[in-house]
Amino acid sequence: MLILVLNPGSSSLKFQLRRSGISEAVPGVLLDRVVEGKQGDALDPGFLGDVYDTIDAAIWDFTGRTRPDAIGHRVVHGGDRFSSPVRVTPDVMGAIEELEELAPLHNAASVACMRAATERWPDTPQVAVFDTAFHRTIPEYASRYALPEDLVTRHGIRRYGFHGISVEMASRDTAAFLGVPVDSLNAVVAHLGNGASVTAVKNGRSADTSMGMTPLEGLVMGTRSGDLDPSIVTLLQRHGLSLDEVDELLNHRAGLLGLAGSADMRAIQDAVQSGDPRAILASDMAAYRLAKYIAAYSMVVGGAGALVFTGGIGEHSSPFRSRVMSLLRPLGLFIDEDRNHSAAAGARLISTDGSAFPVLALPSDEERAIAEATAAVVLSQDPANQSPDEIEAWPRAKRP
């Protein structure tokens, strides 16, 4: 199948065109691009029209065809309604849009991509793949907030968790690297990008994660504050900030940006080397918060068998990994700087041989996971496997 994967992040839009077979270990990537920019500016209809013009041309260049077989969308928040990938319909788009307040940097972008794709390729099946789905295995004592039952039930308040697509793929890749079954893997996975989270993976399943009901909780991130005393919110409101202004502050003007004036970890690490005190503080705070979560989640999984750094920062920022690892020596973890600074591609070991357990840096391949999930949903609804009534409701995708 020829699958277009659309992955809007908190500060970028990544799109891939890839050949995907459900039994294929690594689908072939034909086109891979990232467009950086502020989400509200980048994903307006005109911008998406330009992106899809590029994709149209690429499909023709690579295949001599006019459209993909299927389109897979990363959706950050699925709420209580979505626990697995689903076909995109108007009702699904409406439900995802209703969850926008829980993922203000992401869900609207996903719906914009879906609508633009529907307009461009109306007969092509689309699939929504949810970041929250992997975390549905978190037990209630970890997912529940200490609030009255009626409020929790009425508003769907719980820890949903995010980056699940990346963490699930990282867990599979880590198990393969270590030569163990994924369902026996106990690991701590740190997905570090503009948005960042840590997940406790126990027996291959999510047992706890640092992000909560929304992607705001947890680590110090590019523009998000992460953990803070809830009374800070009420204090700011008492001093004149509106609810919307507080929300905008915590999601868009806090985190590394608020601390150091930049949300780019590369720029911050360069500034650290030049002695910039704001950059040093931002780096130290982000590393300290991350190390605390890693240590706690080592307990949650009953003794970690691996620590995994993934995501853009996790894979590429060797200085930040070094800073975090220096705080984890009480766990018996020590970094091998030669391995840490290696430019080798793919999963690689960065800890010393004498460390208590292996520490890995590996690529985050969310697009591969989305493509596989999209193929699985579309093929499960293939007319060859359906009744006549089901066939009538399903637009056929051309096969390569």
The rounded distance, in Å, linking the Cα atoms of 224 and 282 is 13
Give the active site residue among 44, 80, 123, 131: 131
The rounded distance, in Å, linking the Cα atoms of 33 and 163 is 20
Q: Annotated binding residue at 115?
A: no
What are 385's two structure tokens?
A: 């496997």
pLDDT confidence of residue 209:
98
Query: Under 8 Å CB-to-CB from 153, ≥6 apart: which residues?
Result: none
Q: Annotated binding residue at 36?
A: no
- The answer to whether 355 touches 334, Cβ cutoff 8 Å, is yes
Q: What is the DSSP string of 275-287?
A: T-HHHHHHHHHHH
The rounded distance, in Å, linking the Cα atoms of 19 and 389 is 30
Q: Annotated binding residue at 315?
A: yes
The rounded distance, in Å, linking the Cα atoms of 391 and 394 is 5
Q: The whole model's pTM is what?
A: 0.86
Q: Annotated binding residue at 312?
A: yes
- The answer to whether 228 touches 220, Cβ cutoff 8 Å, is no
Q: Annotated binding residue at 14?
A: yes
What are 278's two structure tokens?
A: 């704001």
Q: Annotated binding residue at 264?
A: yes
**Residue written as tokens 């409101």?**
237
CATH of 166-361 among 3.40.710.10, 3.30.420.40, 3.40.140.80, 3.30.460.30: 3.30.420.40
Q: Annotated binding residue at 65?
A: no
Pick from 350, 342, 270, 281: nearest CA to 309:
350
Q: Is 2-130+367-392's fold the same as 166-361's?
A: yes
* DSSP state at residue 101: G
Q: Annotated binding residue at 37?
A: no
Q: Annotated binding residue at 194?
A: yes
Q: Annotated binding residue at 389?
A: no
The rounded distance, in Å, linking the Cα atoms of 16 and 18 is 6
Q: What is the DSSP string of 213-277?
A: SSTTSSS--SS---S--THHHHHHHHTT--HHHHHHHHHHSSHHHHHHS---HHHHHHHHHTT-H
Q: Annotated binding residue at 265?
A: yes
pLDDT confidence of residue 31:
81
Number of neighbouring beta carbons within 10 Å of residue 148? 9
Vertex 160: Cα angle to 309 and 379 (nearest 5) = 80
Number of neighbouring beta carbons within 10 Å of residue 66? 10
Q: Annotated binding residue at 107?
A: no
Vertex 15: Cα angle to 12 and 16 (nearest 5) = 150
How many CA within 13 A on the CB side of residue 75? 39
pLDDT per residue as tens, the chain (400 positions): 899 999 886 556 788 998 876 555 455 788 888 876 544 455 677 777 778 888 888 888 888 888 999 999 999 999 888 989 999 999 999 999 988 888 766 888 899 889 989 999 999 999 999 999 999 999 999 999 999 999 999 999 999 999 999 999 999 999 999 999 999 999 999 999 999 999 999 999 999 999 999 989 999 999 999 999 999 999 999 999 999 999 999 999 999 999 999 999 999 999 999 999 999 999 999 999 999 999 999 999 999 999 999 999 999 999 999 999 999 999 999 999 999 999 888 899 999 999 999 999 999 888 889 999 999 999 987 544 443 333 333 333 333 3
Tell me the three state secondary structure of residue 381: coil
Q: What is the DSSP string of 107-159?
A: HHHHHHHHHHHHHHSTTS-EEEEETTGGGGGS-HHHH--SS-HHHHHHHT-S-
Query: Under 8 Å CB-to-CB from 295, ≥6 apart: which residues?
Result: 328, 330, 331
Pick from 169, 125, 231, 145: nearest CA to 362:
169
**Residue written as tokens 């190390």?**
291
**Residue written as tokens 């020590």?**
334
Strands (E), 53-93: 70-75, 86-87
Q: Superfamily for 2-130+367-392?
A: ATPase, nucleotide binding domain (3.30.420.40)
The rounded distance, in Å, linking the Cα atoms of 360 and 349 is 5
Query: Under 8 Å CB-to-CB from 387, ≥6 apart: which residues?
Result: none
**Strand 70-75 to 2-8 pairing:** parallel
Domain ranges across the chain: 2-130+367-392, 166-361
Q: Annotated binding residue at 244?
A: no
Burial of 273 (0-12, 13-18, 19+ CB in 10 A): exposed
The answer to whether residue 131 is catalytic is: yes
